[in-house]
């Protein structure tokens, strides 16, 4: 608790991640002792995470639950369809924003097949499975020692994002 109790240079990343779990999506890693769960077993239960949210940020268990539901509703849960609010032109803007059709799905999932989080990943038409890769290897600095699968994934990501940008450039609308 003392580590998270106040923001310091050395804990800002951890503290901001924990705040996000409390205020948006409740991503807690808990595994009972006698299970097949792939993560650390018996480390703690969800009550401990919820207690930390309340003590560190004043976000109680009911608020965490409501935030999770709100996040799922906003992003569409497993359907991943942005809510109408995400496209609302009345949202205050500090600069230009792209407005896309609500049905426009520019989402790509990139998963490493040796990443323990890949079990929770979405797979299908707009996903890439990177053999021999773990958690976001393709976002790291390019190195001569990178596996071929990492280089291929980077190229696929680049090509997909480039095609999205090319397809919307004539219809970009700026909100001032």
Task: Give pLDDT tens digits for 17-57.
Answer: 889 999 998 887 777 788 877 666 777 788 888 999 999 89
Tell me if 3 is assigned to some domain. Answer: no
The whole-number pLDDT of residue 31 equals: 77
Query: How far is the C-alpha of 124 from the C-alpha of 2, rounded, in Å?
Result: 43
- In a shared domain, residues 92 and 47: no
Query: How far is the C-alpha of 176 from the C-alpha of 173, rounded, in Å?
Result: 10
C-alpha distances out from residue 73 to 29, 30, 50, 67, 141, Å:
22, 24, 21, 10, 34
Tell me if 6 is assigned to some domain. Answer: no
Residues linked to residue 171 through DSSP beta bridges, in sequence order? none
Of 75, 100, 119, the position where a domain reaches its end is 75
Query: How far is the C-alpha of 166 from the C-alpha of 113, rounded, in Å?
Result: 30
Of 52, 75, 98, the position where a domain reaches its end is 75
- In a shared domain, residues 31 and 68: yes
- In a shared domain, residues 117 and 46: no
Q: Is 36 exposed, middle or buried (0-12, 13-18, 19+ CB in 10 A)?
A: exposed
Q: What are φ and ψ of residue 129, in 5° steps?
A: -105, 120
Tell me if 7 is assigned to some domain. Answer: no
Query: How far is the C-alpha of 112 from the C-alpha of 125, rounded, in Å?
Result: 16
116-155 residue pLDDT tens:
777 767 777 678 889 988 878 888 899 999 999 999 999 9
Domain count, the chain: 2
The whole domain housing 103 covers 88-171
Tell me if 36 is assigned to some domain. Answer: yes
- In a shared domain, residues 55 and 106: no
User: Residue 6 CB: number of other CB atoms within 10 A?
Assistant: 9
Residue with tokens 């230009």: 96
Chain centre to alpha carbon of residue 71? 11
Higher pLDDT pick, 38 / 108? 108
pTM over cut 0.75: no
- In a shared domain, residues 38 and 101: no
């Amino acid at each position: 608790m003392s580590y998270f109790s106040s923001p310091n240079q050395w804990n800002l990343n951890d503290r901001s991640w924990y705040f996000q779990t409390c205020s948006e999506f409740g991503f807690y890693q808990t595994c009972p002792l006698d299970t097949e769960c792939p993560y650390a077993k018996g480390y703690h239960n969800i009550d401990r995470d919820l207690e930390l949210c309340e003590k560190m940020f004043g976000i109680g268990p009911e608020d965490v639950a409501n935030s999770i539901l709100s996040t799922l509703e906003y992003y569409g849960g497993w359907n991943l369809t942005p809510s109408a609010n995400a496209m609302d032109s009345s949202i205050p803007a500090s600069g230009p924003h792209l407005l896309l059709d609500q049905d426009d799905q520019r989402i790509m999932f990139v998963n490493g097949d040796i990443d323990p989080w890949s079990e929770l990943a979405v797979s299908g038409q707009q996903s890439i499975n990177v053999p021999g890769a773990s958690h976001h290897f393709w976002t790291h600095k390019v190195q001569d020692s990178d596996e071929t699968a990492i280089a291929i994934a980077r190229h696929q990501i680049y090509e997909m994002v480039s095609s999205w940008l090319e397809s919307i450039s004539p219809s970009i609308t700026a909100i001032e």
